[in-house]
Amino acid sequence: MKINYIILAAFAGTALFSSCKKVLDKVDEGKGTAGQVYSDSVLAKQAVDYLYGQNLPTWGGNGADGGTIPVSLTGLTDETTGDNRFLQGVATSADEGSIGTSNTNSNFYGKMRIINTFIRDCRAGSLPTAQKNRFIAQALFFRAFKYFSMVRVYGGVPLVLEPLSSVGEDNKVEAQQPRATTSACITQITADLDSAIKYLPTKWPNANDWGHITSGAAAAFKGRVLLTWASPQFNPARDQARWQAAYDASTQAITLLNQGGFGLFVSTGSSGAGGGTNAYANMWFTEINNPEAVMVTGYNTSIADQARYTNTYDKSVRPAYLGAGSGSSQPTWDFVRNYLMKDGKDTLTSKYGKSAAGGYSLQTFWKNRDPRFDWTIAYNGCTWPTLGVSNYRLWTYIYYTKADRSTFASTESSGQTSTGFYLRKATNAITNASDLANSGTDWMEIRYAEVLMNQAEAAAEIGRLGAGQEAYTNIIAIRKRAGIEPGTDNLYGLTAGLNRDDMIKTIMNERAVEFAYEGKRFWDLQRRNQTQSLLNFEGRKARYGITISLKTVPATDYAKATRDATSMDDLYANTFDVKVNRKLDTKYPLNWQSNYVFFGIPPATITNNPAIIQTNGWDLGGFDPLK
């Protein structure tokens, strides 16, 4: 699926910015065709669709123009490993390069200028008021979306709400605006989102408009913004008014989304795409009118009247030895441990109760786990329908070829996994190898499940912890959809009477597994001030993988036909050894620094705009992100 903003981008870009001569004449290029575009509903729609093409995130929630850390986000958590100066603890402000400094339409403020130009010119146009408001509301959403991408990294940033001329020394000086306070940015972001909520429909009536922002999507994003603003990163004093506002925003979002037909994806659908009948697995393969997809970037492979617009995710996570992938995203043992058992209890003895699901042990780490484990993590011996083979079994073990264990070989013929695992989530079981490079699977930037979790977390913070209140009911709904067993108390593994601290721990773990590898983990850890403690855990300062080896030493590889026909219970009881001994971070101890809660402004940005003050904790900066 892919809506029209992709194929119309080139036209709309030409319509909005058509004349190089106007730049030479020092005339705002946005004014040249405003009368044409904003008196014609077709042209105006093409112009707003251009904003979608420029500003929707790509697969993984990534954007090309700023507001993200310039390294892999999963590699900055326990999800996967990474190697960069942030993890070494030696990053400087020069290592953060998200704020654009050049005069281009492709960086953050270049795109913001296009959005502001659209808003200004559409307001001045002659379209009917209701139609005009609906177009402007979509642009306001993207302005809020883009500004929040910066604020959660830096705190306050220059708040530009009108298109500034980019030509001439006088205009350059005028454009040198200081950083607004973080609170002023949040106020503007929420005001823009309130306008979007007011003027956008709960559901677009035309199927061709699927993927356009709805009032519920704007409210859901407002809930995300205010949840972050209420979290310890920005709210160390735990101002309850902020948590109440976050709760109210997500509550409004749920109401609007329900009115528009959104909700948790619960239909099992086809058993082919996700490789099974689990709704959590198959929700990625329902596109048009997917109730889970609150905010979505559409991809397609074969729609005849549209250009192909694909992503490479599916190929990137497949094992390299299959000859059709690169295995680039490999889960760590540290992250795998976050998954509870199928009864929703912990794998180890804890105050939440030890699971009775099959007597967990390291040797049987794969057995009786939360079903989301099997739909996210691919591990040695699992059945992973792939490349059209419905009963394909994945093998990643090694075997020692000398009695002293000085040499070993891998059953993987090439590209051996470094962690013992591969990422399976959102891979399509019925895709052929030749089609992997052209995946049409949509990216869901906001899922309905996130809105429920956002409300649950805010509810826990304001004391809504009783039976039947959101801190419990929303987690139960998500666990029920995932396939967790209800238990005799119908709490799906939750313990009754949890206090605030224990409920927040439960919610953070639930978010980790529900949104695993969806670009959410890093931002959750940052807003909760937990990145440093997670990475620098207990002095280990490293993430780990597992090694699965044949017990017989020395050994040759196991006969494929025999192992494929042997049960997992027999193999792990009699054939394999499992050890947590694969240290993944070996070049240096992980050393995430406390000043990384907010990031420094790149020196090139300050040189370009001397009105900007550096962030506290960076280069003797004096800007306080908490104000």
pLDDT digits (tens, 9 = 90+) for 140-181: 999 999 999 999 999 999 999 998 765 556 666 767 899 999
Global confidence as pTM: 0.92
Within-domain flag for 327 = yes
Cα 261 from chain centroid (whole Å): 23
- The mean pLDDT of 582-604, rounded to a whole number, is 93
pLDDT confidence of residue 276: 56
394 pLDDT above the threshold of 70? yes
Expressed as residue numbers, the domain containing 433 is 313-437+540-583
For 607, residues 6+ apart whose C-beta sits below 8 A from its C-beta are 101
The share of the chain scoring above pLDDT 70, in percent, equals 86
351 pLDDT above the threshold of 60? no
- The mean pLDDT of 193-216, rounded to a whole number, is 95
Within-domain flag for 174 = no
Cα 163 from chain centroid (whole Å): 30
Burial class (CB in 10 A: 0-12, 13-18, 19+), 430: middle
Alpha helix (H) residue ranges in 305-436: 313-317, 333-336, 371-376
- Stretch among 257-261, 385-389, 481-485 having the lowest mean pLDDT: 385-389
For 563, residues 6+ apart whose C-beta sits below 8 A from its C-beta are 381, 393, 395, 571, 575
- Phi then psi for residue 403, to 5 deg, are -60, -30
pLDDT confidence of residue 545: 96
15 pLDDT above the threshold of 90? no
Within-domain flag for 376 = yes
- Which residues are bridge partners to 300 per DSSP? 309
Residue 359 vs residues 231, 270, 345, 486: alpha-carbon distances, Å: 37, 33, 12, 18
d(CA 18, CA 65): 22
Cα 311 from chain centroid (whole Å): 15
Q: Provide the b/e sequence for 469-491 (b: ≥16 CB within 10 Å).
A: ebbbbbbbbbbbbbbbbeeeeeb
For 98, residues 6+ apart whose C-beta sits below 8 A from its C-beta are 66, 67, 68, 69, 70, 108, 150, 153, 599, 602
pLDDT confidence of residue 323: 78
For 443, residues 6+ apart whose C-beta sits below 8 A from its C-beta are 57, 58, 59, 60, 61, 296, 297, 299, 311
Within-domain flag for 108 = no
Within-domain flag for 212 = no
Within-domain flag for 414 = yes
- Which one, of 43, 225, 14, 218, lies nearest residue 131 by Cα? 43
pLDDT tier at 272 (50, 70, 90 boundaries)?
very low
What is the average pLDDT value for the chain, to the nearest integer? 87
Give the count of domains, the chain: 1
Angle (nearest 5°) at CA 447 between 446 and 453: 100
Amino acid at 75: G
Q: Answer whether 171's CB lies under 8 Å from 160's CB.
A: no
469 pLDDT above the threshold of 90? yes
d(CA 592, CA 86): 6
pLDDT confidence of residue 192: 98
- Stretch among 109-113, 211-215, 323-327, 394-398 having the lowest mean pLDDT: 323-327
| Residue 612 DSSP one-character state | P
The share of the chain scoring above pLDDT 90, in percent, equals 69
Query: pLDDT tens for residues 219-252?
Result: 999 999 999 999 999 999 999 999 999 999 999 9
16 pLDDT above the threshold of 60? no
d(CA 127, CA 133): 9
pLDDT tier at 306 (50, 70, 90 boundaries)?
low
For 501, residues 6+ apart whose C-beta sits below 8 A from its C-beta are none
pLDDT confidence of residue 22: 26
Which value, in Å, is the radius of gyration of the alpha carbons in the chain? Answer: 25
End-to-end CA distance of the chain: 42
| Residue 411 DSSP one-character state | S
DSSP 3-state of 410? strand
CB neighbours of residue 437 within 10 Å: 15
- The mean pLDDT of 12-16, rounded to a whole number, is 37
102 pLDDT above the threshold of 70? no
